[in-house]
Amino acid sequence: MTADLSQIVKAYDVRGVVPDQWDEDLAELFGAAFVHVTGADAIVVGHDMRPSSPGLSRAFAHGAMGRGAHVTLIGLCSTDQLYFASGKLDLPGAMFTASHNPAQYNGIKLCRAGAAPVGQDSGLADIRALVEDWLEHGTPPAPTIVPGKLTEQDTLTDYAAHLLSLVDLSAMRPLKVVVDAGNGMGGHTVPTVFQSLPVTLVPMYFELDGTFPNHEANPLDPANIVDLQARVRSEGADLGVAFDGDADRCFVVDERGEGISPSAITALVAARELAKHPGGTVIHNLITSWSVPEVVRENGGTPVRTRVGHSFIKGEMARTGAIFGGEHSAHYYFRDFWNADTGMLAALHVLAALGEQDGPLSGLVAQYDRYTGSGEVNSTVDDQAGRMAAVKAAFEGREGVTTDELDGLTVSTADWWFNLRPSNTEPLLRLNVEARDEATMAKARDEVLGLVRGT
């Protein structure tokens, strides 16, 4: 096929429509290039439940073996299960998934040994360049005449045992939990992880189906948790948990069916991790709530603010030795999990925290949810840089206002802050606002949107 790799090689992964933008032939080239760039003599490969995933992952494995690398296929798995295998086996890894994207998409998330991230600046650009060269000039002969061997290994039980070893669940009271897997990989991992817990599990959409017949597997879109919210209320459950398609993110709903912000979950887990590791460092991106650094400091930790994106979070965790990191997008990273993100481990922390006391989840998280946020508001604009400059000029120099450009533009006062960031892939500006009360938040949000949209 004629492939435009600029359309499918993103900042952190490979992702595109199958077979229109990429196919098994291209997956085989990616496998060969991955081994070439990493110098690996062995790798581990897993895949999600999308119809195209088994074929793509085996083609990738074939390309890797042709370059002399041994391949361990772990088959159906969540992305954090692949990270577990990469960490436990100390091998570079490839996960075939397009996360929450529609069924016609697929992709590859790559990591080095120990689940270290592979992004544009850490190998992905080199892989793309090599594949492009091969597409143009033909793949050169493999540098070895001895192809690698293929073995298959089931890691689900070991993955579950490792996660359960990281959270003290011994004092947990019985809980009724609704879990919406969205027909994604949560339906594969949750039964094994939860089977030993004092949990009455109410499963929703656990059937593995990469066509997503019930709703998109993206729990950050409010439309996709409506079913979960209703089921929590009708069952009288203690909480609900929703996973995205590859189950590396989780979103939590309280006993009233109300969504809990990922910032509040970040703060709750941070407090628990600091109890285990006193004085530790916690990473948070600049869109998480003011609550996060406040709770970290109150619990004797050091908060470190970073840009949005898993490569930045993981990079800062490695640099600082941080014990935990959280993002507004419901990605949660743990030092005890090779600095990788795992929604399942965050969910276990929520279960443990709730189960250790008698009150409802809404009461428990109230101490971690202190401010009012807008959520992410997207605006389509023709001139991202021009609109950003106009917003900066409007606020810069006002009394009591500070600005920084760590990632987009952040403007802060004593009572509110906002961050405005350009999308890397679409003509959008993304706005997040937080304030001490709803009226203040709405006023700041509307002023910024007026400048962005020229209204």
pLDDT digits (tens, 9 = 90+) for 23-44: 999 999 999 999 999 999 999 9
Q: What pLDDT, on the 0 to 100 scale, is given for residue 270?
A: 98
Q: Do the Cβ atoms of 220 and 159 come closer than 8 Å?
A: no
pLDDT of amino acid 96: 98
pLDDT at 87: 98
SS3 state of residue 245: coil
Indicate if the alpha-carbon torsion angle 297, 365, 310, 95 is positive or negative. positive
Please tell me the distance from the alpha carbon of residue 400 to that of residue 64, in angstroms, as a whole number: 57
Q: Output the pLDDT for position 310.
A: 82
Cis ω on the peptide bond leading into residue 19 (within 30° of 0)? yes
Nearest to 232 by CA among 181, 191, 182, 176: 176
User: In the prediction, which pLDDT does 144 show?
Assistant: 66
φ/ψ of residue 405, rounded to 5? -130, 40
Q: Which long-range contacts (CB under 8 A, 24 or more apart) does 410-416 make?
A: 410/286, 415/440, 416/440, 416/441, 416/444
Is residue 107 helix, strand or coil?
strand
* Phi, psi at 58, each rounded to 5°: -70, -35
Q: How far apart are CA 112 and CA 357, in angstroms?
A: 40
Instruction: Round to whole Å and give the CA distance between 214 and 208.
Output: 12
Instruction: Give pLDDT, residue 129.
Output: 97
- Stretch (H or E) spanning 80: helix 79-89
pLDDT of residue 219: 95
Assign 206 to helix, strand or coil: coil
pLDDT recorded at residue 24: 98
| DSSP of 303-329 | EEEE-SSHHHHHHHHHHHT-SEEE-TT
Give residue 64's pLDDT: 97
- Whether 99 is catalytic: yes
Contact 167, 352 (CB under 8 A): yes
Burial class (CB within 10 angstroms; exposed 0-12, middle 13-18, buried 19+) of 415: middle
List the chain residues with pLDDT less than 50.
Answer: none
Exactly one of 53, 78, 99, 329 is catalytic; name it: 99
